[in-house]
Structure 1
Amino acid sequence: MKHDSYVMPDVQSIREAFAEASSFLAGHGLTEPQRSSQLLLEHVLGLSGAAYYMALADPFPLARKADWEALVTRRAAGEPVQYITREQEFYGRAFEVTPDVLIPRPETELLVEAILKYGAELWPDGLAGGRGEAAHPLTAVDIGAGSGAISVTLAAEAPAWRVCAGDISPGALAVARRNAQRHGTAVDLRLGDLLEPFAGVETDILVSNPPYIPGGDIAGLQREVRDHEPRTALDGGGDGLDPYRRMMEQLPLLPAPPRLVGFELGQGQAGQVAGLLRAAGHWDEIITIDDLAGIPRHVLGIARR
């Protein structure tokens, strides 16, 4: 695969620049070359939405030519668009992303949606407690914070909740902290391995999109993922299930098992992850949610009683 530098031919309009770059990227075997070209053009021109479409007939600004060529060259070498523009939308909000974090995926929005839905069912007033305990704000803990896509979205959508998030990567936590500030949310961010930083924390909801790719499969991933996304956010051990097993083993660190647990997982793992939750015995209802492609993608455990 050749990784030559992109040189924009003499183009008159922004539309021509888009078409040219799209065909250059397609020639480098990239998926969705037109989508990449549009996102990079919007970024380099500082336009988005309707303003971008209105500008397509305008002349391409020569002052941006060198920047544009550099961006298209990086994309042609396989670097994900989101790391080039440093942005990805999630649940209607723009999140900063860097190579320290996994790029948020649209299917993870379904996990957030499910946690919000069942959280509202189990705790209609946003308060936990009962059974002789004093009522206190519901606490949701997100394991593997990454960019903060899950935790910041939960904090924004359910402002009455106390939201915490942990990650083993200081670089990821720095990105999550900036995203929390950007969206005006308070997220208690902690450095550490899985549940360890939350030992002793009353946890009502546990949510996680942990690394779940079997180690041996990483070499065969799309090069954008394999060569650019953080390996610690991908590698789930021999069968990809190590993080789920370890989270189940670490539950005794918490004062009591969370009444709502939601995990994202890889293709073909739903049965095994549901089995781990069943074996733990804390949840009377286990639900599997398919993603938009019909792949079982999320497993939830709910303790109704």
Structure 2
Amino acid sequence: MENNALNDGVYVMSEVKSIREAFAEASSFLSRSGCNEPQRSAQLLLEHVLGVSGAAYYMALADPFPAAVKEAFEAGVTRRGAGEPVQYIIGEQEFYGRPFEVTPDVLIPRPETELLVEAILRYGAELWPDGVVTPGEAALDSAGGAGDVRAARPLAAVDIGAGSGAISVTLAAEAPAWRVCAGDISPAALAVAERNALRNGTAVDFRLGDLLEPFAGMETDILVSNPPYIPGEDIAGLQREVRDHEPRTALDGGADGLDPYRRMMEQLTLLPAPPRLIGFELGFGQAEQVAALLAAAGHWTEIITINDLAGIPRHVLGITR
């Protein structure tokens, strides 16, 4: 089954008889095209055009390949062979067990970011077990009676650089007592995030603007961000799937990749008080520097570094208990 075209980059199916044969042929084409994870890509594209997934897909492997989806499958495999991420082709990526729409306007959610969400949920629940922020004891007035009493309010969590909404929508779904807000500088990204919030049945307050600016004056208990952190000069060396297809504004973190972290530290003065919990995702080799930025700010009593599944320091958190 090697007669599918590769010389001009166009995938043309042979007269395959089964879905399993289509999978094998497409996997071979994608492998020869230099794609990473060719078998996984072929399976996702097949599941997409066939409208099945999981066990249903494996049960269908022996079935005849339906002629009605042949053109769609060929087009998808051709696009993937040219380096386009499979998530943009099928328009979806799962995150924390939920489906998220993805377009070239947003970064594709990564599994390691789920660890950041887990950490924020865990420490958030420790700091605010019921998801409510209670002011200190009311001061007594001169007559010995109760002074001005401010009402308790829902915990406020802010996600900076919303992208697809993976972080904010997941926080809102997993901690429904929280008030979750998210900002992004890209109107197109916010549109995708809003659709994902609706799709997953969550209420998120989305705001357009640069980093913390849309949240000036807002009481913020948790600040979380997966900002652009790739050093500008390193982008040319990234995998073609990332370099040529994902939005550069979601990748480029300036000369050393740390510009967004520095700017967020500077913009904390826009808030009435620093958040008691802050969490950042970061790139390879940046954990020590980002932890130092948080330590220099002096707002948090604990600074924690969390490794990703490959053992690479991937997240830095600041906590005040």
TM tier, smaller: over 0.9
| Cα pair 1:97 1:175 within 8 Å, conserved | yes
| Cα pair 1:75 1:81 within 8 Å, conserved | yes
Say yes or no: does 1:58 pair with 2:63: yes
Task: Output one character per residue of 1:129-178: Cα deviation in whole Å (capped at 9) or x when no partner.
Answer: 32245311000000000000000000000000000000000000000000
What amino acid is the match of 1:165?
A
CA–CA distance in 1 between the matches of 2:72 and 2:120? 41
What amino acid is the match of 1:13?
S
Say yes or no: does 1:184 pair with 2:201: yes
* Structure-2 change in CA distance of 1:200 and 1:286 (3 Å): same
Which one of the candidate residues 71, 77, 84 is aligned to 1:79? 84
Say yes or no: does 1:35 pair with 2:40: yes
What amino acid is the match of 1:121?
E
CA–CA distance in 2 between the matches of 1:200 and 1:276? 23
SS of residue paired to 2:57: helix
Task: Output one character per residue of 1:207-241: Cα deviation in whole Å (capped at 9) or x when no partner.
Answer: 00000000000000000000000000000000000
CA–CA distance in 1 between the matches of 2:274 and 2:71? 55
Task: Output one character per residue of 1:192-217: Cα deviation in whole Å (capped at 9) or x when no partner.
Answer: 00000000110000000000000000
Please state how far the C-alpha of 1:128 moved relative to its aligned partner: 1.1
CA–CA distance in 2 between the matches of 1:49 and 1:233? 31
Which one of the candidate residues 280, 287, 296 is aligned to 1:270? 287
Please state how far the C-alpha of 1:3 moved relative to its aligned partner: 5.2
Which residue matches 2:106? 101
CA–CA distance in 2 between the matches of 1:120 and 1:135? 16
What amino acid is the match of 2:118?
E
| Cα pair 1:267 1:297 within 8 Å, conserved | yes
SS of residue paired to 2:304: strand
Larger Rg: 2
Where does 1:1-305 land on structure 2 (aligned, <5 Å)?
Answer: 4-132=9-137, 133-304=150-321
What amino acid is the match of 1:214?
P
Identical pairs, percent: 83
* Structure-2 change in CA distance of 1:197 and 1:3 (3 Å): farther
CA–CA distance in 2 between the matches of 1:293 and 1:61? 40
CA–CA distance in 1 between the matches of 2:14 and 2:48? 20
Aligned residues: 304
SS of residue paired to 2:257: coil
Please state how far the C-alpha of 1:4 moved relative to its aligned partner: 1.4
| Cα pair 1:3 1:77 within 8 Å, conserved | no
CA–CA distance in 2 between the matches of 1:156 and 1:141? 14
Which residue matches 2:140? none
CA–CA distance in 1 between the matches of 2:67 and 2:226? 43
What amino acid is the match of 1:22?
S
SS of residue paired to 2:317: strand
Q: TM-score if structure 2 supplies the norm length?
A: 0.94
SS of residue paired to 2:65: coil
CA–CA distance in 2 between the matches of 1:85 and 1:131? 50
RMSD, matched Cα: 0.9
Please state how far the C-alpha of 1:2 moved relative to its aligned partner: 5.8
CA–CA distance in 2 between the matches of 1:131 and 1:289? 32
CA–CA distance in 2 between the matches of 1:85 and 1:64? 14
CA–CA distance in 2 between the matches of 1:221 and 1:295? 18
Q: TM-score if structure 1 supplies the norm length?
A: 0.98
CA–CA distance in 1 between the matches of 2:55 and 2:130? 40
CA–CA distance in 1 between the matches of 2:202 and 2:63? 39
